[in-house]
Structure 1
Amino acid sequence: MALTKVLITVTTYPLPSRSYDELVCTAGVLENGDWIRIYPVPLKFLQGFKDNGKMTSFKYHWLEIDLQKRQDDFRPESHSPINHTFDNVNVIGKIDTKRNWAERKHYCLQNIYYNKKKLLDDSLAPNNTSLVTFKPSKILSFEIENDNREWKNEWKELRKLGDLFDQDKSPEIQIPKLPYKFFYNFIDDEGVQSRLMIEDWEIGALYWNCLRRAEGNETIALEKVRQKYENEFLTKNDIYLFLGTTKEWHQRRGKNPFVIIGVFYPKFEQQLSFF
C-alpha cells in the first residue's frame, strides 16, 4: 500500500488482554471514508507529537504513513507500518470542529451502520468487517464496573520486548491500570440491545484527570466521568460509536466481537422553527 494518507480517529487505552501487536489499537479513515487499522504502534504514539513545542494528540490529524497489508490478519482493514517506530510519519494537518464538526462528519460518517444484525452478518466471511461507524437509535445507559487494580503479569513481562516502555520505567508508571470498566448500553434501529465496553483512550485519560482534580477521591472522579458520558453526551450531543474487533475474538467468531473504540460527539443540530 506504501505511502498512505490517514485521518487518525481512534486510539484505545492499552489492555493487557490484547496481544503484543494489538496492545495499542490505532485506527482511522482514508479520504474515501474507508476504515483502516494500524498496528503495531509504540506506546509513545499515545503521547502525540510536538507542535510548536507543545505535545499534541494525533487524533483528527491527517498523517502520511508507509503501510503494508498484514498477511497474518484476515481482517481487511488491518495494516502494518513499514517503520514500526513511527519516526518517519508526516503530520499534514488537523481537522477542527468548525460548523459543528462538518469536515470530520464528511470523512467519518460516509458509511454508517444502524442495525446490529447487518453489522454481525458483515463481520463474517467473506467480508470480515472489523471497523465501523455505528449510530444507535438510543443509548439507554452509561455503566461503570469495578475492575482489577493491578496489571496482569503478562503485561509486566512486555517490558522485556524493548520498544513498548522506557527501560528505566515500569509499565505501571507509564500507563496506570484503570480500576474501572465503562460501558454503553444501547439499541439499534430494530430495538435490539447491545452492551459494549468503551475502550477509548479519552475516557481513561478523563478518569485520571478527574481523579487528580478530585485529589484522589474516586467517587468524585467517577461522577465527573458520568457527567460527561451520560449527562452531557446523551442530552447535548448526537452520538455515533466507532466499533472495532480484536483479532482474537473476531477469529473465535464470538457472539459479538465488537467493542467501542471511540465516541464521535458533535452537538445536536439546531432545528429551524417556522412558527
Structure 2
Amino acid sequence: MNTIDTKGNWFKRKQIVFNNIHTDIKKLIAEAHDKNVCTSLAVFKPTKVIDFKIEKVASNWDKKKVAQLKALNDQGNLFDMEELPFEIVEKLPYKFSYVIEDVNGVSSTMMIEDWEIGQLYRNTLAAAEGNEAIAVEKVKEKYFDYFALKKDLHLYLGTTKAFHYRSKNPFMIIGTFTPDIEIQTSLF
C-alpha cells in the first residue's frame, strides 16, 4: 500500500487535497443541485468556525428501521457471490456539528459524520470509565479547541443519495484535513 507522508507540513497531501477547494457554501450547494454538475464530494475551507455543537440523541437504533435493513440483507442479491453478515455498529448517543461561516459570511451548521469522531468518543468514553460528560468534552477539545482554532481546518463534505436533491443543504462533514497553519508557504 502506498502512503503519502506528512513531511513539510503535509506538502504532498496538500497538493492533492488543495486541488479544488470550495469556500462559498451557496455556490457549492447550487453545484450539488445542478443535475449537469451534481457535486457530491468536496473539500470546503470555512472562513471561520463559530461553534461546535453537541446534541444528545437516542442511544439505540430505531428497531423498525433495523428490521427493514436486516430483511433487505436477508433477501440477498442475485449478483453477490458470498453472503455477508448483517452487523449493526454501536450508535453514538450524541450528534456533533460545526457552525461555520463561508467566504461571504454565510453561516451553516454541518453535522459531522466522520468515523474518526465516533471512534474518538468511544475511546475517550472507555478511558473515562463511562463518563459521557468527560468523553464529549474531549471530543470538543480535539475538534474545536485544537482542529478549528489551532489548525488549518479543511472539511471533506459529502452527500447521501436520499437527501442529495431534496435537502436545502445536502452536505455533511465526512472527514477533516488538519495541517498546521502556515504563515508563509514554501518557495520550493
**TM-score (structure 1 length as normaliser):** 0.60
User: 8 Å contact 1:113–1:135 — kept in the other structure?
Assistant: yes
* Residue 267 (structure 1) aligned with residue 177 (structure 2): no
Q: Do the aligned partners of residues 164 and 138 (structure 1) sit closer, same or farther apart at CA in structure 2, a change above 3 Å counting?
A: farther
Residue 103 of structure 2 aligns to a residue whose secondary structure is coil
User: 8 Å contact 1:158–1:164 — kept in the other structure?
Assistant: no
Query: 2:3 maps to which residue?
Result: 94
CA deviations 1:199-246 (Å, max 9, x no partner) are 000000000000010010000011111110111112220000111110
Residue 177 of structure 1 aligns to a residue whose secondary structure is coil
| Aligned residue among 81, 84, 102 for 1:163 | 84
CA deviations 1:127-163 (Å, max 9, x no partner) are 1111110110101011100111101222355345252
* Residue 203 (structure 1) aligned with residue 117 (structure 2): yes
Tell me the distance in 1 between the aligned counterparts of 2:143 and 2:67. 31
Tell me the distance in 2 between the aligned counterparts of 1:155 and 1:94. 37
Residue 110 of structure 1 aligns to a residue whose secondary structure is coil
Query: 2:46 maps to which residue?
Result: 136
Taking only aligned residues, the RMSD between alpha carbons, in angstroms, comes to 1.6
Query: 1:177 maps to which residue?
Result: 91
| Aligned residue among 226, 243, 246 for 2:157 | 243
CA deviations 1:76-97 (Å, max 9, x no partner) are xxxxxxxxxxxxxxxx312222
Residue 11 of structure 2 aligns to a residue whose secondary structure is helix
Structure 1 segments, 4+ long, off by >6 Å, are: none
Query: 1:146 maps to which residue?
Result: 56
Residue 58 of structure 2 aligns to a residue whose secondary structure is coil
Query: 2:169 maps to which residue?
Result: 256
Identical aligned pairs, as a percentage? 48
| Aligned residue among 122, 130, 136 for 1:222 | 136
**Letter of the 1:233 counterpart:** F
Query: 1:116 maps to which residue?
Result: 25
Tell me the distance in 1 between the aligned counterparts of 2:42 and 2:125. 32
Residue 158 of structure 2 aligns to a residue whose secondary structure is strand
How many residue pairs align between the two structures?
173
Decide which structure has greater helix share: 2
**Letter of the 2:44 counterpart:** F
Tell me the distance in 2 between the aligned counterparts of 1:244 and 1:266. 20
Q: Do the aligned partners of residues 215 and 268 (structure 1) sit closer, same or farther apart at CA in structure 2, a change above 3 Å counting?
A: same
Tell me the distance in 1 between the aligned counterparts of 2:165 and 2:149. 37
Tell me the distance in 2 between the aligned counterparts of 1:93 and 1:255. 38
Tell me the distance in 2 between the aligned counterparts of 1:132 and 1:247. 15
Deviation of 1:99 (Å): 1.4
Query: 1:126 maps to which residue?
Result: 36
5+ unaligned residues in a row in structure 1: which ranges?
Answer: 1-91
Residue 248 of structure 1 aligns to a residue whose secondary structure is coil
Query: 1:49 maps to which residue?
Result: none
